[in-house]
Amino acid sequence: MSSCELIEENGANLQIYRLARPASAFIKWRAPARQSRKSRIEETFSPKIVRIMIEVHQLTKRYARHDAVRDVSFSVARGEIVGFLGPNGAGKTTTLRMLTGYLPPTSGTARIAGFDIFRQSIEARRKIGYMPENVPLYEDMRVREYLKFRAQLKGLDRGNTRRRVGDVIDTCGLDSVRRKMIKTLSKGFRQRVGLADALVHDPELLILDEPTNGLDPNQIRQIRELIRRLGQSHTVLISTHILHEVEMTCNRVIIIDNGKIKATDTPANLTQQMRAAGRIQVEIQADPEVAGGAIHRLDHVKKVTHESLEDGWSRFTVWVDSGVDPRESISRLAIQYGWPLRSLFQHVSTLEDVFVELTRKD
Ligand X SMILES: Nc1ncnc2c1ncn2[C@@H]1O[C@H](COP(=O)(O)OP(=O)(O)OP(=O)(O)O)[C@@H](O)[C@H]1O
Among 54, 90, 128, 301, the residue binding ligand X under the rule CB under 6 A is: 90
Nearest Cα to Cα of residue 127 among 234, 211, 26: 234
Q: How far is the CB of 209 from Mg ion (least distance, A)?
A: 6
| E runs forming strands in 203-251 | 205-209, 235-239
H-state helical runs in 21-157: 37-45, 92-99, 121-127, 143-153
Strand order from edge to edge, sheet including 205-209 = 128-131, 205-209, 235-239, 81-85, 252-257, 260-265
Residues of this chain that interact with Mg ion (CB under 5 A) are 92-93, 133
Which lies closer to Mg ion via its Cβ, residue 133 or residue 283? 133
Beta carbon of residue 252, minimum distance to ligand X (angstroms, whole number): 18
Determine the Cα–Cα distance for residues 324 and 265; give it in Å rounded to an integer: 24
SS3 (DSSP) at 341: strand
Q: How many residues bind ligand X (CB under 6 A)?
A: 11
| Residue 203, C-beta contacts closer than 8 angstroms, at least 6 positions apart | 126, 127, 128, 129, 234
Listed in sequence order, the residues at least 6 apart from 281 whose beta carbon sits closer than 8 Å to its beta carbon are: 315, 316, 317, 318, 343, 344, 345, 347
**88 is in the binding site of which of ligand X, Mg ion, none (Cβ under 5 to 8 A by kind)?**
ligand X
Q: Which of 59, 82, 91, 320 is the binder for ligand X (CB under 6 A)? A: 91
Among 88, 218, 232, 233, binds ligand X (CB under 6 A): 88
16 binds, among Mg ion, ligand X, none (CB under 5 to 8 A by kind): none
Q: How far apart are CA 177 and CA 193, in angstroms?
A: 10
Q: Which is nearer to ligand X, 63 or 345 (CB)?
A: 63
Least Å distance, CB 108 to Mg ion, is 19
86 binds ligand X (CB under 6 A): yes
The least distance separating ligand X from the CB of residue 212, rounded to whole angstroms, comes to: 13
Shortest CB 343 distance to Mg ion, Å: 39
Residue 94 interacts with ligand X (CB under 6 A): yes or no:
yes
Our finding on whether 93 is near ligand X (CB under 6 A) is: yes
Task: Verify binding: residue 128, ligand X, rule CB under 6 A.
Answer: no
**Which amino acid, one-letter code, is at 152?**
Q
Binding site for ligand X (CB under 6 A): 63, 68, 86, 88-94, 133
